[in-house]
């Protein structure tokens, strides 16, 4: 049985962080998501960062020209190392492998002993970039299409890109060690449901080790997904039949999950102190759902170091003042984690277990 990389309960492995919440202390983040560039070589029609046609109102300040300067990113990684940050994921924003210095950033991350991972569209998963990513803990490719026509229509790229991405995935799967897990993120829309299970089989045959299936989020979430919910459930059931000790299907396609609602029902966000985001605009944000938004800004590191901002009064005011029930009127991928942590903090800490 494969370990679940997506469980909200993984926070139990970090009792020192739970203790910091109990005691009201700010400690270093466990893990940071870095968005090194907002530039992208694809234009997904549902892109949450404004590359496509949909406006979902989550990342209203994104500027597609923004790129983290080389020296600033190396400085940030130096701070991560000094603070004991345990893991980094490079993601979008844009396509992280498009950053001109991404190979140096990834190599430096590994050299510092920080766990490395990436979320990429797969088009540049080759050459030196792919070689470095063999040292990652996981590499995940975003795919929301089952064939070349779907890819071309939804991502505004030539149909030959479909074969290129599958070739990159297959070659990466053959070359990587077992310590690096190769996965796929599949975002379900109204146009890519049919053939999902068959595509999961194709991915398994290419060497992919897990597929994570999630619903695309829109403000009209329930109404949008209602016409396809039954078909999606059937495809997911068929995909799960493909699982074996080397291949897993994970699904968050739960339309009733509170993470997809616009009201949180609680007033404290713990996740922002666990997994903040370094944006390509050189601002630090509370999480990837609030990246490139005014209400998600912890502060700028353009003219100061990450570590100086993180332990500043400005950051504490953000952590103390952020009310998710008021500010985060959109999807919250960390909703379950926040509720779980709140439940832990309500427990008595006596020995009568």
Distance, in Å, from the CA atom of 233 to the CA atom of 341, rounded to the nearest integer, reads 30
Residues of the chain above pLDDT 70, percent: 97
Q: What is the pLDDT of residue 263?
A: 85
* Greater pLDDT, 260 or 153: 153
The predicted-structure confidence for 197-242, as pLDDT tens digits, reads as follows 999 999 999 999 999 999 999 889 999 999 999 999 999 999 999 9
Instruction: Give residues with Cβ within 8 angstroms of 256, minimum separation 6.
Output: none
- Domains in the chain, please, with CATH? 8-345 (3.20.20.70)
DSSP calls for 5-63: TT-GGGGGG-HHHHHHHHHT-----SEEEE--B---S---TT-TTSSSS---SS-TT--
The predicted-structure confidence for 318-329, as pLDDT tens digits, reads as follows 999 999 999 888
Question: pTM for this one?
Answer: 0.94
The predicted-structure confidence for 25-64, as pLDDT tens digits, reads as follows 999 999 999 999 999 999 998 888 876 566 666 787 888 8
Assess whether pLDDT exceeds 60 at residue 1: no
CB 49 within 8 A of CB 294: no
Q: What is the pLDDT of residue 6?
A: 81
If 0-12 CB within 10 Å is exposed, 13-18 middle and 19+ buried, where does residue 107 land?
Answer: middle
First-to-final CA distance of the chain: 29
Average pLDDT, the chain: 94
Assess whether pLDDT exceeds 90 at residue 261: no
């Amino acid at each position: 049985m494969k370990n679940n990389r997506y469980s909200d309960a993984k926070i139990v492995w970090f009792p020192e962080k739970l203790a910091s919440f109990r005691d009201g202390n700010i400690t270093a983040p466990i893990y940071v998501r870095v968005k090194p560039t907002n530039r992208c070589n694809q234009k997904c029609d549902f892109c949450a960062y404004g590359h496509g046609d949909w406006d979902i109102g989550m990342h209203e300040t994104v500027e597609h020209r923004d790129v983290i300067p080389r020296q600033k990113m190396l400085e940030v990684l130096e701070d991560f190392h000094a603070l004991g940050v345990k893991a980094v994921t490079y993601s979008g924003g844009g396509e992280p492998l498009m950053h001109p210095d991404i190979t140096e950033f990834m190599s430096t991350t590994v050299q510092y002993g920080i766990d490395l991972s990436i979320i990429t569209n797969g088009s540049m998963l080759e050459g030196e970039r792919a070689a470095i990513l063999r040292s990652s803990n996981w590499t995940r490719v975003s795919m929301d299409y089952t064939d070349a026509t779907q890819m071309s229509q939804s991502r505004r790229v030539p149909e030959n890109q479909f074969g290129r991405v599958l070739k990159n995935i297959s070659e990466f799967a053959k070359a990587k060690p077992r310590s690096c897990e190769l996965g796929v993120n599949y975002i379900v829309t109204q146009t890519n449901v049919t053939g999902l299970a068959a595509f999961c089989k194709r991915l398994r045959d290419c060497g992919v080790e897990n597929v994570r299936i999630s619903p695309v989020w829109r403000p009209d979430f329930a109404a949008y997904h209602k016409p396809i919910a039954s078909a999606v459930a059937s495809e997911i059931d068929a995909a799960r039949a493909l699982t074996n000790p080397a291949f897993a299907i994970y699904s968050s396609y739960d339309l009733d999950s509170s993470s997809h609602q616009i009201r949180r029902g609680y007033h404290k966000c713990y996740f922002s102190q666990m997994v903040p985001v370094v944006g390509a605009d050189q601002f630090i944000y509370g999480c990837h759902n609030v990246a490139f938004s005014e209400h998600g800004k912890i502060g700028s590191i353009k003219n100061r170091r990450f570590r100086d901002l993180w332990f500043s009064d400005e950051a504490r005011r953000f952590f103390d003042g952020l009310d998710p029930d008021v500010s985060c009127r959109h999807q919250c991928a960390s909703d379950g984690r926040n509720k779980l942590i709140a439940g832990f903090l309500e427990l008595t800490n006596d020995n009568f277990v």
